[in-house]
Amino acid sequence: MRIGQGWDLHRLIEGRKLIIAGVHVPFHMGEEAHSDGDVLVHAIIDALLGAAAMDDIGVLFPPSDMRWKDSDSRENLRYVMTLIKEAGYRVINLDTTVVLEKPKLGPHRPAIRENLAEDLGVPIGSVSFKAKTSERVNAVGEGRAIEAQAAVLLEEINK
């Protein structure tokens, strides 16, 4: 068994879509990023890569490389899953948290979990998603940023 943790934070800006695990959350601001800015998927990618002792997201998908400009983070996650499987691992479970003052994410929870379960190739019961606020403290609490955390458990499988 191998455990990985991931974390990411993006500024929120006008004129961008707010994307969480591939789900478009209606809001007047979205994540500022080189890719589509999906902060949750970025944290999950780092958790997976960390658990397998591989490179991090910035090495695999560097912002200096225009191939990744506005890229779909879920496609990047599916690519990382091929690397995880090739390295001889499978996902046991995923636990995630998104910290965002507004909008409320509860109504989007089922779709977020479904997308993640599909991309990781696990049952939906193996995917946890929690939404929290920052109690109006720091950049997230002031509505200027969004933060995500992820923890993943991998199991070595026979190659």
Task: Calculate mean pLDDT across residues 92-117.
Answer: 97
Alpha carbons 97 and 60: distance in angstroms, whole number: 23
Mean pLDDT of all residues in the chain? Answer: 95
pLDDT score of 137 more than 80:
yes
Alpha carbons 4 and 55: distance in angstroms, whole number: 12
pLDDT score of 103 more than 90:
yes
Task: Calculate mean pLDDT across residues 130-137.
Answer: 94
CATH of the domain at 68: 3.30.1330.50
| pTM tops 0.85 | yes
Confidence label for 149 from pLDDT (cuts 50, 70 and 90): very high
Alpha carbons 30 and 27: distance in angstroms, whole number: 7
pLDDT score of 159 more than 70:
no
Containing structural domain, residue 137: 2-156
Confidence at residue 45, expressed as pLDDT on a 0 to 100 scale: 97
User: In this predicted model, which residue has the larger pLDDT, 70 or 119?
Assistant: 119
Domain count, the chain: 1
Structure tokens at 32: 């500022």
Q: What percent of the chain has pLDDT over 90?
A: 86
